[in-house]
Structure 1
């Protein structure tokens, strides 16, 4: 949906599954680029669009500004140091704990280079067990493990960019503009009675969504193309002159 004008550019039906709904965004963005030669400069969505792979696709592949909350489960609830208390050194590619000790993904050299990327698309950074054992902050950092570990996503740069955008005024404006999208969905359900589908299957859903989007766009076109109405005072004065 074009937020600036309230126009539906593309539709894509999916099963009622969050992952499928998020992945359909990639299909619609690429299809709009191919058909209309339009590339969005920002994407507004909820937390479902704030996963690391989705943010990586937006920032690293498409260059889209992510105005979405970050899906973050790294914060701890046991009153120990969260991951945000560890400083990332991009030059050395290592973390620094609150005590100033290093957390590295590789403490010894290997004959064959390794990527150290796990199946979850993360790189695990570990502190030295010797440093953690002698550290006076161990009870506040890793009381139940020999050393502290941090799993860093391979898309962490994109996640950090989304966190920085969330602190800006433009992000708050995007939150307000997202109401336009929700308003279109509410109009489809309440006014056009698209609260349930009549046709079965994804093809039937695609046909219904396409027709409903066409109706919405025609209504929007009529509103944008119609000339502005004069104010009531101007109408009254004109009527008096004619009389």
Structure 2
């Protein structure tokens, strides 16, 4: 689900299976929202999401689309490794004893994430007096970093900036209450239909009802034509799905 922070309306909603992480769906949602807004002559410049969408590939995707991502970096990420400064030009780390840990190879983990491996020469670690404290059970010191380390660093800097703190408050005060309203008052606490297509129709109708009620509460204030077109596009899409569903149902034969 995507919510416009300026108007507080739902700009996109869709049903997905719950067998994957939230971060896996950001690319698809981002493309759909950006294309819909572009059709209505609107530009998406910023994207706010919680830490569940933190992913190096997502940061890279948003930068390629010229969208500033305000997504908190996942808690396990560390921008620096204490005692091991990084040399960007040489693409290597230095240990406290000033021994190099150059880049050696790429590595793909079970999740499909591509990582970079750095490790020191075994002979350097073997003769090092700090080996019992540094790497007592391995031959040499190894460092593993994501290939999106630069994107993570930029996201980390945004997160801890003053604007980043304001963006977090904005997300918590505008986006999250919409989700709460849908589950509490618009029937999305539990989806009572089978299949992804059926769930999508239920969510789409709830979003349309929410947006229409939002505009009715404006008290005569005229909504922007672009946002109004977005609502009509969503309604048209829902009606198309319902029509296709009705047409696909088998027609019972009557006995003579």
State the TM-score, normalizing by the size of structure 2. Answer: 0.74
CA RMSD for the aligned pairs?
2.2
Distance in structure 1 (CA, Å) of the matches to 2:73 and 2:20 = 15
Map of 2:128 onto structure 1: 135
Q: CA deviation at 1:195?
A: 0.8
Determine helix, strand or coil for the equivalent of 1:181. Answer: helix
Determine helix, strand or coil for the equivalent of 2:129. Answer: coil
Determine helix, strand or coil for the equivalent of 2:52. Answer: helix
2:26–2:58 contact (8 Å) kept in structure 1? no
1:183-219, CA deviations, whole angstroms, 9 ceiling, x for partnerless residues? 0011111122321112221111111111111111112
Q: Against the structure 1 CA distance between its residues 40 and 134, is the aligned structure 2 distance closer, same or farther, given a 3 Å change threshold?
A: farther
Instruction: Pick from 81, 84, 91 the counterpart of residue 83 of structure 1.
Output: 81
Q: Against the structure 1 CA distance between its residues 193 and 142, is the aligned structure 2 distance closer, same or farther, given a 3 Å change threshold?
A: same
2:48–2:167 contact (8 Å) kept in structure 1? yes
Q: More deviation in 47-56 or 173-182?
A: 47-56
Instruction: Pick from 86, 91, 94 the counterpart of residue 92 of structure 2.
Output: 94
Map of 2:31 onto structure 1: 30
- The total of aligned residue pairs comes to 210
Say whether 1:57 aligns with 2:61: yes
Instruction: Pick from 186, 193, 216 the counterpart of residue 187 of structure 2.
Output: 193
Instruction: Pick from 165, 175, 183 the counterpart of residue 172 of structure 1.
Output: 165
Instruction: Pick from 131, 154, 158 the counterpart of residue 151 of structure 2.
Output: 158
Q: Against the structure 1 CA distance between its residues 181 and 74, is the aligned structure 2 distance closer, same or farther, given a 3 Å change threshold?
A: closer
Deviation >6 Å, runs of 4+ = none
Unpaired segments ≥5 residues, structure 2? 222-256
Say whether 1:66 aligns with 2:60: no
1:129–1:147 contact (8 Å) kept in structure 2? yes
Say whether 1:43 aligns with 2:47: yes
Q: More deviation in 186-195 or 217-226?
A: 217-226
